[in-house]
Amino acid sequence: LPFGERAGILLAHFNMDPQALTRGVRALRSSFPTQVFVLDELGPLELKLGRGWVEALDLLQKPTYRVAIVVVRPELLLNVIKRLSTAWYTIVYVTPENRGGFTDELYTYVLSLTASRT
């Protein structure tokens, strides 16, 4: 929403439209089952305020996808780990030094995971 609009959910320097968040959650639910799920990002809205795509945490614990790639800020990572009961995950830190070739490495990694689970 425009800055100064008081109808939304205030988060730092963003003002989130509740109707847009509701549409987003509907889209999130309808994206499962899937082969690969990519979420950029689970952030303060979900992990601190319990709003937005917080439902993604529940969906990630169900066997309705093969591979999930979820972006989480380093300071919120422990919050996600505590909330996921999943026993298997890999944490990859993206830095200015490694982000240049990161997408190629990620693609190769996802292909290897999906191939090994067929």
Q: How far apart are CA 115 and CA 108, in angstroms?
A: 11
* Mean pLDDT on 94-101: 88
If DSSP codes are grouped into helix, strand and coil, which group holds residue 89?
Answer: coil
DSSP state string for 54-69 = THHHHHTTSSS-SEEE
In tens, the pLDDT along 30-74 reads 999 998 899 999 998 899 888 889 999 999 888 888 888 999 999
Rounded to the nearest angstrom, the gap between the alpha carbon of residue 53 and the centroid of all alpha carbons in its chain is 8
Whole-prediction pTM: 0.77
**Which residue is associated with the tokens 């690969």?**
36
13 pLDDT tier (thresholds 50, 70, 90):
low
Q: What percent of the chain has pLDDT over 70?
A: 84
